[in-house]
Amino acid sequence: MNGLCTGRVAVVTGAGRGLGRAHALALAAEGAAVVVNDLGVGLDGTGGADGPAQQVVDEIRALGGQAVAHGADIATTEGASSLIRTAVETYGRLDALVNNAGFLRDRMLVNVDEDDWDAVMRVHLKGHFLPLKHAAAHWRTEAKAGRTPVARVVNTSSGAGLLGSVGQGNYSAAKAGIIGLTLVAAAELGRYGVQVNAIAPAARTRMTEATFADTMAAPGDDGFDAMAPENVSPLVVWLASAASTGVTGRVFEAEGGRVTVMEGWRPGPTADKGVRWTPTEAGETVPKLLAQAEAPLPVYGAQ
């Protein structure tokens, strides 16, 4: 097999279904050996399933690729460290980490209880942090030993993390946190040969069926299914490959045949009095600044 990721080893979390499965298959198709992580839980993170990670491994192997299953909870220290060990002990190296695992517990803010908040923060934000931490520690060790890697991390945010989404306060906050984590990791880990980027995908998965119910039409006359998760994976594969050298600390929106570079917070209109404002002065100045500023994009689901 001779592809974009030939000889590389990639880890994909939440790879038993949906986007993660598509990413794992696409990476394997381009020559990567893949560690397929999935805990097999339901849409809300409860219960378990009968081995979705192994099913994806079987698909990859049937197509001539290399893959191994990992079923531990990557939002725990032991689960995340064992994920990285699995790659290194099975294939002798680690080149790319794709953080994708997640689930939903959607509620309006007044109805979100503490367990709903903590569970979503845990799987999305902590579930990104811990695998990233252990992968980064491995790559730092390699770099200090004179074996500087060509390492890649692809984190998964969301349009909800960029703009907010009504009924998804916990999810939006977690996904916004992933963007902040991505920026810090890109700045800190570059010296060790690690590039870190994030995607904000839109695709048909278990998590989005209800959200995008009105827009998830069947494929058009040309056969192109704009909401298929496989549409997002080519960007992930490229970001995980050595070919993406020089691209780090970026957020990309991906949907159908469209890729967009998202531009984050940056200074807009400003006023500097040189000394402390009074509340009245601030109140007189802020509307003038807002009149010069671009209007924010609407929160998803806002009326």
| Annotated catalytic residue 171 | yes
Residue 274 lies in a domain: no
Which residue type occupies 188?
Answer: E
Catalytic-labelled residue, pool 81, 91, 165, 175: 175
Q: Are 229 and 100 in contact (CB under 8 A)?
A: no
- Whether residue 300 is contained in a domain is answered as no
Catalytic site residue from 81, 82, 157, 158:
158
Q: Which domain holds residue 168?
A: 9-262
Identify the pLDDT of residue 42: 56
Residue 288: active-site member: no
- What total number of domains does the chain contain? 1
Instruction: Encode pLDDT of 78-135 as tens digits.
Output: 999 999 999 999 999 999 999 999 988 889 989 999 999 999 999 999 999 999 999 9
**Domain assignment of residue 191, yes or no:** yes
Query: What pLDDT score does 41 carry?
Result: 65
Single out the catalytic residue among 171, 172, 192, 233.
171
Residue 197 domain-assigned? yes
Domain-located, residue 276: no
Which residue, among 188, 120, 180, 191, has the nearest Cα to 155 in the 3D structure? 180
DSSP string covering 237-288: HHHHSGGGTT--S-EEEEETTEEEEE------S----SSPPPHHHHHHHHHH
Q: How far is CA 102 from CA 75, 157, 194, in A?
A: 10, 10, 24
Is the separation of the CB atoms in 19 and 201 below 8 Å?
Answer: yes
Structural domain includes residue 284: no
CATH number, domain of 110, equals 3.40.50.720
Per-residue pLDDT tens for 249-282? Answer: 999 999 999 999 999 999 999 999 999 999 999 9
| pLDDT tens digits along 131-181 | 999 999 999 999 999 999 999 999 999 999 999 999 999 999 999 999 999
296 within a domain of the structure (yes/no): no
Tell me, what's the pLDDT at 216? 47
Round the average pLDDT of the chain to a whole number and report it.
92
Confidence at 303, pLDDT banded by 50, 70, 90: confident
Question: Among residues of the chain, what percentage have pLDDT more than 90?
Answer: 85
Q: What are phi and psi of 246, to 5 degrees?
A: 95, -5
41-66 mean pLDDT: 80
Known active-site residue 175:
yes
Residue 301 lies in a domain: no
